[in-house]
Structures are given as C-alpha cells and as structure tokens.
Structure 1
Amino acid sequence: MSSRIRSIAILELLTGHPWGLKMPEIASKLAIPLPATTRVLSSLVASGYILGSLSGKEGAFRLSPKLPALGLAFLGATGVTDLVQPILDDLAKKTGELVRLAIISGEKLTWVAESQGARSGLLYNPEAGKDVYLPASANGQAWLCCLSDDQIRRMMEHEDFARPDVGPGAPRTIDALLDAISCARERGFASVRDSYTIGTSAMAVAIVRQPGNVPIGTLSVAGPAMRLNESRMREVFPWLSASARELAASSASSPLFSMI
C-alpha cells in the first residue's frame, strides 16, 4: 500500500471519529505498520489536514477544519448550496423528516447534501462519514432498481451480507435483496425498516436524467418508523418523486452531476 493510499485511508477513517484516535488505534484499524503510520501522520500533520502531536504517542489525532472546509467549498462551487439545497429544504418542510441527496460515483453512492425537517420530538440523523451500504439503504436499493438483476448480482458478487453492523431488517442474501428490489420497482420507490438502526425507516427514489434514463443519484426521506410507516410513505411519495424530477431537471446546471 503506497503512502498516498495510506494517507487517504487515514483521512477516511478519521471522518468517523471526530474526537480522534490514538496512533496505535489507527495502525490497528487499517492494518498499517506503526512506523509507516507515524510517517504518514507526520506528513498529514505538516500539511495541516490532521491535528495532533507526534511527540506524545498517547495523544489523539483528528481531522482539522481544513479538509471539511475544502469539501464545503467544492460543494458550494458546484451549485449544491444555491441549486440543490432549496429543493431539499422544501421537501424536508413538507415531510417533517430527514431528506438526503446522494450521487452515484462509480459503483458507490456518496452523500452530498441533506435537510432536517423535524425540529422537535424524535429526530433521525445517521452518522456522517459512513459508507452507503447499498443492500440495506433505501438510497442503495433505489439505485439498484435502475439496474438489471444480472447487473445487481455482479455488483453484489463479493458483498458480505452477514456484516454485523446492520439491523435485522437488512437483506441477508442476494435473493432477499432481489425480492426487495422487485417490490420497489412495482410500487415506484424503495423502502427499508430496521436496516441500519432499529426503529427507523426510509424511502427513496432514483434521480434519473433525460434523455437516456440515466440514474445520477438518489433522494430519500428517513425518520422514526412510528411516524414514517407504509401509509405515510404513500402520502410522501408524490412529493419525493416531484423533488427528484426537479433535481434531475436542474442537474445540467451543476458540474457535480455533469461528472457522472
């Protein structure tokens, strides 16, 4: 593994640990030898991307504001703030739940924007920095609905369906996933319950650009399952679909989507 790849791996790891990790923890989690971890951390500290001191190995290393600031600057330059955010805010206001936008990047989904509609009571907001696990997320299933079953099988060929970090509602086999995809195609939206966190549910649709029916991202609404039940999802569906169409129509104006 090159030092460049190790640097990226450390940055990605620390996005999920805002209070930081100690050097031995970083080395252990990423299976990087301690001397190599020390060299990479030294470079990242010197460049200003990580805060921490190499003189005290017991101290924690955490991301500096530099990397998030670069990300926010990039998203602002792509027009997400001016173009996309009002659409998300409007949908969040109508639904009273968490609305999230993800874009397709290769064979992965990347979260780029969100809006929280619930101002009090039970709130649902997943941890920032987590990878989108396609089989267990409404967003992932919404994207998979746009693919053929053969394409889905190829993408999921090496997927670990037995991973322990998902809830009891997550599909545990490729056949279970394909059954969920079939149901989603039939009713027009994907939905999950107890897939990531027990007691939560989510629904999502693909954002499809014309011409060509090209999926460029997904749009979801998520919240406590006691509120966002099947009946409520059917009420929300027209708003969700309309917002996805609006995002698709606006996508040509943003370089964020033109990269796809």
Structure 2
Amino acid sequence: MSSSLQKSLSILELLAKTPSPMPLRDIAVHLDSPPATVHRLLKLLSNAGYVRQDRSNNDYYLSLKLASLGLIGLSNTGIHGVAQPLLDRMAAETGELVRLGLIENERLVFIAKAAVARYGLRYDPDAGQEAPLCCTASGQAWLLNLTDEEALRIVTRQGLPPKGTHGPNAPATIQEFLADLTEARKRGYGLNINASMDGITAIAVPIIPPKHLPVVGVLAISGPSSRLTREIAETFLPMMKKEAEELSGITLYPTL
C-alpha cells in the first residue's frame, strides 16, 4: 500500500473517531506528518467528497459519503432484510436493546440494532463503532472461540483502555482479561456486569456458520443492571442461541 493511500485512510479513520471537526494542525500531529502533506491529502479527500470543512473555522470532518457506501454494501449482502425483523422480534420479547455485530479484519463492529420504547432507563450506544473487546460481552462471545494467543494478539492491537474509561469491573490487566475469558469459555457465552459501563449488564452469543467456519458475528442484549440482572439475562440464552443459529445460515459476506 502506498504511503499516500495509507495516510489518507488514517485521516478517514481519525475523523471517524472524532466527535467534532478537527483543525489541520491536530490531524498532522496525530498522524505525525508534515502539515503540508496532510493538507494535500485532505484536499484530495475533499475533492472526492469524503471530507468537508466547517465554514466557521475551516476544520475538517467526514461527509456522509463513507456511511452511505457502507449502508449500500450492507444492503447488497441481504443482512438487514433478514436480520432486522429478527432483532425487532427479540427486542419486543426482551424489552431491551438487541444488537448484531459482525467481524471483519479482526474488528467487531455493530451494524444493526433494535429496541422498544419503554419507560425508565435506556441504554443505547452508537452503532457503527468498533466494540471494545476486553470488557464487553460481545468481545467475549467472539474471543472465547479463539486461543489465548489469538485473543491476546487481537486485544493487544486494540489495547487495554485507561482505568476509568469503562465500568469498575473492566479488566485492568492482561491477566484479568484472560481470567474473564476463561470464565466465558466455561459458560460458552459472553457476560459482563458493570464492565463496559457502570450500571450496564450485557449478554452475547457467537454466530458460527455451518461446517465449523470461524465466528462471523455476535448477537447481544444489553440494558441497565437495575433491570437486567444476570438471572434475567441468562433466561434469554435459549432464544439468543436459536436466533444466532438462524443468522448463521445467512450469507453475511459474499466470500463465505
């Protein structure tokens, strides 16, 4: 991959993870590149329609073009047509947030969700974000199917978040992460309480294609711990496993 292409992709990834427009100098610092080089690449990305500038201060932000392309790609796989009614049905039955995450290039990204309107607390994280693997039920559901060495390599790439970033039960060391992963393997599913976020319980199962192919995604249910206790969450497991099996028969990617 050429240096210019790599830097252009790095710019897109940086802007995607930044909630507000970024000035040129900050982008250059993050990329450890000369401002003149970054400015040239931003101009190319802007001309192609992937990047826009704030009219008030000329800071840079992503346009909707990448999101649009992603949605078009997903629609062509047939995922949403089959998965969304299934997620809606699960949300109606459980009363909690249900999410579908897919794995690509050793990253777990939530691509669809369903929730019902109800009174009281509601947990609703942003879709389209890469899931933190070390402290989520979804991360456990995927990684429990790998060896310790494979799981550590993937988690190390993402990195353990600084203390206080997530909930009080989030693993702070590699040893704690491996201990949580060992427990997840014994259970056969992912579970976290006050780990990804204080006051949140989540449970997740892997989506495993036929013929023992690698895990392609996860199905997760999450909600406030005051309402979604571990005991209640585990009553959803039979339904989750059944729906995960149904999803496993979908051609999630054209290459499968």
Normalization by structure 1: what TM-score? 0.87
* Conserved 8 A contact 1:134-1:141: yes
Q: What is residue 212 of structure 2 aligned with on the other side?
A: 212
Specify whether residues 70 and 152 from structure 1 end up closer, same or farther in structure 2 by C-alpha distance, changes over 3 A only: closer
SS at match of 2:33: coil
CA RMSD in angstroms, aligned pairs only: 2.4
> Which residue is 2:86 aligned to?
87
Q: Partners of 1:155 and 1:50 in 2: how far apart?
A: 30
Per-residue Cα deviation, 1:138-157 (whole angstroms, up to 9, x for no partner)? 11111111123343344445
Deviations 1:60-105 (A, max 9, x none): 2222222111111111111122111111111121112221111222
Q: For the structure 1 residues 33 and 193, does the alpha-carbon distance in structure 2 shift closer, same or farther, using more than 3 Å as the test? A: farther
Count of aligned pairs between the two proteins? 254
Matched, 1:112 2:108: no
Q: Aligned pair 1:28/2:29, yes or no?
A: yes
| Alignment partner, residue 8 of structure 1 | 9
Q: Secondary structure at the match of 1:215?
A: coil
| 1:135 and 2:134 matched | yes
Report the Cα distance in structure 1 between the residues aligned to 2:174 and 2:117, rounded to whole angstroms: 34
Deviation digits for residues 31-86 of structure 1 (CA, Å, limit 9, x no counterpart): 33211221111011101111116xx7932222222211111111111112211111
Q: Tell me: CA distance 1:58–1:199, structure 2 relative to 1, closer, same or farther (3 Å).
A: same
TM-score if structure 2 supplies the norm length? 0.88
After TM superposition, list the pairs within 5 Å mapping 1:27-106 onto structure 2. 27-52=28-53, 58-106=57-105
Match of 1:211, SS? helix
Gap change, CA 1:128 and 1:214, over 3 Å in 2: closer
The answer as to whether partners of 2:95 and 2:115 remain within 8 angstroms in 1 is yes
Report how far residue 238 of structure 1 moved: 1.6
Structure-2 separation of matches of 1:153 and 1:65? 34
Deviates most, 162-171 or 108-117 = 162-171
1:171 is paired with a residue of what secondary structure? coil
Please tell me whether the aligned partners of residues 15 and 129 of structure 1 are also in contact (alpha carbons under 8 angstroms). Answer: no
- CA distance in structure 1 between the aligned counterparts of 2:72 and 2:133, rounded to whole angstroms: 27
Distance 2:161 2:96 in 1: 30
Cα distance between partner residues in 2 of 1:143 and 1:111: 13
Opposite residue 43 of structure 2, the aligned amino acid is S
Of all paired residues, the percent bearing the same amino acid is 35
Structure 1: tracts of 5 or more residues without a match: none
| 2:186 aligned partner | 186
Q: Distance in 2 between matches of 1:149 and 1:108?
A: 17
Separation in 2, partners of 1:259, 1:140: 23
In the alignment, the residues of structure 2 paired with residue 18 and residue 175 of structure 1 have an alpha-carbon distance, to the nearest angstrom, of: 32
Distance 1:57 1:24 in 2: 16
1:95-133 deviation line (CA, Å, top 9, x unaligned)? 122211112223221222222234443221223453322
